[in-house]
Amino acid sequence: MESQTPAPTLSYRPEIDGLRALAVLSVILYHAEALLPGGYVGVDVFFVISGYLIASIVVRERERGNFRLVTFWEHRLRRLFPAWFAMIVVTTIVAMIVLIPDHLEGYGESLLAQPTFTANFHFWERSGYFEPESEWQPLLHTWSLAVEEQFYLFFPLILPPLLAKGRRTARMFVVVLGVLSFALCLYTTPREPEFAFFLLPARIWELNLGIFLALVPRLASRIPLVARELLGFGGLAMIGLSAILFGPNTPFPGSAALVPCLGAALFLLANSAELTRSGRWLALPPLVAIGRLSYPLYLWHWPCLAFFSYWCIDDATPAGIAAMIGLSFLLAWLTYRWIENPVRSRRRLAGPRALAIAAGIGVLWVAATGWLFESTGGLPGRFPQLGRFGIDEILRPKIATIGQWEEKGGPPRLGDLAADGPGLLVWGDSHALALTRLFDELGKTHRVKVTVAAMAGVPPVLGAYPAGRGADEMVHAEQVLELIRAERFHDVIIIGKWPMYLTGRSGGELDRILRDGEERSDEPEEAIEVFFRRFPSTVETLRSLGCRVTVMQAVPQQPHRVPEALARITLRGETSDALAWTAKVNRERDRFENEILARAVAGAGATLLDPLPLLTDERGIVPMVRDGKALYLDRDHLSPYGSMLLAPLFEEIFRAAGSAR
């Protein structure tokens, strides 16, 4: 990622700055959601360039006998630290102004990962690069800097000893390590995609492509000019096509990353001996100028876009995004002109001691600030007005899920625990857990004992399981069936996030759609077949055991995570209904899944309940807030307060269960 004019020991190649320009522009356009859905491959191009240039410097200095490890790290510190620290300081100030407490706490955690070069581990553990929740994290882009920093730490410890044994030995090591890393990348991309994306072991092969080129400096001179012309244009075409044809759904890095990485390597190789026509194009002054700004431009573009998107929520305009890109260029130029270049040229912090002291103070400030944000929960005193929505009261119910029954001594019981008879069973997923306050209150009112059988992300369907979690999840439904047989419940209420299991919609992914032993359900159409095969038989099995079965449609979804959206629109001075959908919109969004559910329920003889009317106000809106309290935990789980709005939906069931004791 670094923007560098190569050290004096390495001849300056303007076309590499041009290649950097293409890489950073592709990343910016990707993050701006403009034109290049695969623009993230620009990071991979940077990796190849970094491997090539850094290895070229080390090889040349080592073979001249003047390589010094401390000097190498000092050069890296001069190139990387000043611009990075400037970005961190400004980003932190803005974060304190605009981020709500929960998000500032998360920002503090990402700050703590910066000085230790572990930002990639931080984001690997907490999010995915392509996930919606990544959009607000202003330091997400530093994962790639951490990968390069880790490379700079261990690479100079390994290459010089290998070069002492000759370039051939060094090349063999680089090839073997690269092949092993690429194999790991291919293995982990479909199985552990976040590992493959964020961590160095699955990325080292990209850097090694550049290192290998640095170890064969005379290779280009043996290739005819015509062939080099083809290689240069072919390499650029591979980068361009991957930026255009790839997208967030492309399994990445995996084998797909080979396309832009080989493209970058071929371009570097083609122009190693002398500039080809493609090299002359990329050596044009405008591209070279952008290339020299590429490091600070990469640093600034994402915080600008992330904060703008955060403030606008989903109303970011193309003009506003363009303005943020323009601001990124301005900040990059100012950083390069007044901070990065003076330190690199030793006009400031000339000696190693001064540089080390400045870096040490900066690192301590970053760590202390991160600790402050994290330990205080995001400085909640900044926004006392947020408490008016009851956001601090929104907690997920802490009751035992099906997988915890053995550990907790059985399923959780709510309502009137002293009531006679088996009472009523609620069976479902996390949406059932979100209604536990409602069922507890109804049970106490009507003197009914309520047993809850719930497992987040697992459908209440016998013989089916969520695709991404495996057939082992079917054991939970069997446990529920055993419980019903043992306790002879008269009423069973089934609650689930049905769109997620049927079509992968409503915030879910295809790893939650239904499978069974007959269908793999890699597509929603197959998941629907599984549902029609398994859900009616589930209801029939329950009815054969003497149960009256009631099924509730999925709770209508909000367009954003409610507590966070409420906080952000409050800071903008807007009303709580600014982002809420109407009942009509929700009805249309869920129509397909609700029709499927209705057909399955009607054929099995169960009763179907619709929560939408009770969550709709007199204006036809499904509000985020009522009586000053947030109704949702996130996008589709009702808060404890919001769950009480559904009391009329279940009143008759509880009244009948109470009178039948």
Query: How would you classify the pairing of strands 491-495 and 548-552?
Result: parallel
Query: How would you classify the pairing of strands 413-415 and 449-454?
Result: antiparallel
Query: Does residue 435 or residue 128 have the better pLDDT?
Result: 435
Is the whole model's pTM more than 0.75, yes or no? yes
Query: Does residue 236 or residue 383 have the better pLDDT?
Result: 236
What's the token pair of residue 24? Answer: 């950073």
Is pLDDT at 502 greater than 70 in this prediction?
yes
Look up the CATH number of domain 397-558+586-616+640-659. 3.40.50.1110
Residue 305 CB partners (closer than 8 Å, separation 6+): 31, 32, 321, 324, 325, 328
Query: Does residue 9 or residue 423 have the better pLDDT?
Result: 423
Average confidence score pLDDT of the chain: 89
Q: How confident is the model at residue 40 (pLDDT cuts 50, 70, 90)?
A: very high
Give the model confidence (pLDDT) of 336-376 as tens digits: 999 999 999 889 898 899 999 999 999 999 999 999 999 99
* DSSP states of 267-336: HHHHTSSS--HHHHHHTSHHHHHHHHTHHHHHHHHHHHHHHHHHHHTT---HHHHHHHHHHHHHHHHHHI
Is pLDDT at 8 greater than 80 in this prediction?
no
Q: How confident is the model at residue 1 (pLDDT cuts 50, 70, 90)?
A: low
In 144-185, DSSP assigns E strands to: none
Q: How confident is the model at residue 473 (pLDDT cuts 50, 70, 90)?
A: confident
Tell me which H or E stretch contains 494. Answer: strand 491-495
Q: Which of 194-203, 265-274, 367-376, 515-524 has the lowest mean pLDDT?
A: 515-524
Tell me which H or E stretch contains 603. Answer: helix 583-604
Is pLDDT at 394 greater than 50 in this prediction?
no
Q: Which of 4-18, 427-441, 495-509 has the lowest mean pLDDT?
A: 4-18
| Phi and psi, residue 356, nearest 5° | -65, -40
- Mean pLDDT across the stretch 93-120? 92
The dihedral built from the CA positions of residue 558, 563, 566 and 572, taken in this order, carries a sign that is negative
Is pLDDT at 415 greater than 80 in this prediction?
yes
Q: Which of 131-145, 333-347, 638-652 has the lowest mean pLDDT?
A: 131-145
- Mean pLDDT across the stretch 503-511? 62
Residue 116's pLDDT is 92
Residue 12's pLDDT is 87
- Mean pLDDT across the stretch 237-248? 95
The span from the CA of 321 to the CA of 314, in Å, is 12
Is pLDDT at 537 greater than 90 in this prediction?
yes
| Phi and psi, residue 510, nearest 5° | -70, -10
User: How many percent of the chain have pLDDT more than 90?
Assistant: 67
Amino acid at 499: P
Q: How confident is the model at residue 310 (pLDDT cuts 50, 70, 90)?
A: confident
Give the model confidence (pLDDT) of 289-299 as tens digits: 999 999 999 99
Residue 577's pLDDT is 78
Q: How confident is the model at residue 10 (pLDDT cuts 50, 70, 90)?
A: low
Q: How confident is the model at residue 133 (pLDDT cuts 50, 70, 90)?
A: low
Instruction: Quote the DSSP letter at residue 37.
Output: T
Residue 522's pLDDT is 59
Q: How confident is the model at residue 332 (pLDDT cuts 50, 70, 90)?
A: very high
Contact in structure between 53 and 212 (CB atoms under 8 Å) = no
**Pick from 101, 25, 7: nearest CA to 567:** 101
Tell me which H or E stretch contains 164. Answer: helix 142-164
Q: Which of 68-72, 93-97, 228-232, 574-578 has the lowest mean pLDDT?
A: 574-578
**Pick from 398, 531, 430, 542: nearest CA to 483:** 542
> On the CB side of 240, how many CA atoms lie within 13 Å of its CA?
8
Catalogue the long-range contacts made by 438-443 (C-beta closer than 8 Å, 24 or more residues apart): 438/643, 438/644, 438/646, 438/647, 438/650, 439/414, 439/415, 439/650, 440/414, 440/415, 441/644, 441/647, 442/415, 442/647, 442/650, 442/651, 442/654, 443/414, 443/415, 443/416, 443/419, 443/654
Best mean pLDDT range from 22-26, 33-37, 348-352, 555-559 = 22-26
Residue 487: CB atoms within 10 Å = 14
What's the token pair of residue 226? Answer: 């015509």
Residue 593, burial from CB neighbour count under 10 angstroms (0-12, 13-18, 19+): buried
Instruction: Quote the DSSP letter at residue 609.
Output: E
Residue 643's pLDDT is 94
The span from the CA of 527 to the CA of 504, in Å, is 9
Instruction: Enumerate the domain spans of the chain.
Output: 14-379, 397-558+586-616+640-659
Residue 42's pLDDT is 97
- Mean pLDDT across the stretch 97-122? 92
Amino acid at 76: R
The H-assigned helical ranges of 466-575 are: 474-487, 498-502, 524-544, 562-571
Q: How confident is the model at residue 516 (pLDDT cuts 50, 70, 90)?
A: confident
Is pLDDT at 389 greater than 80 in this prediction?
no
Amino acid at 442: L
What's the token pair of residue 458? Answer: 């697992």
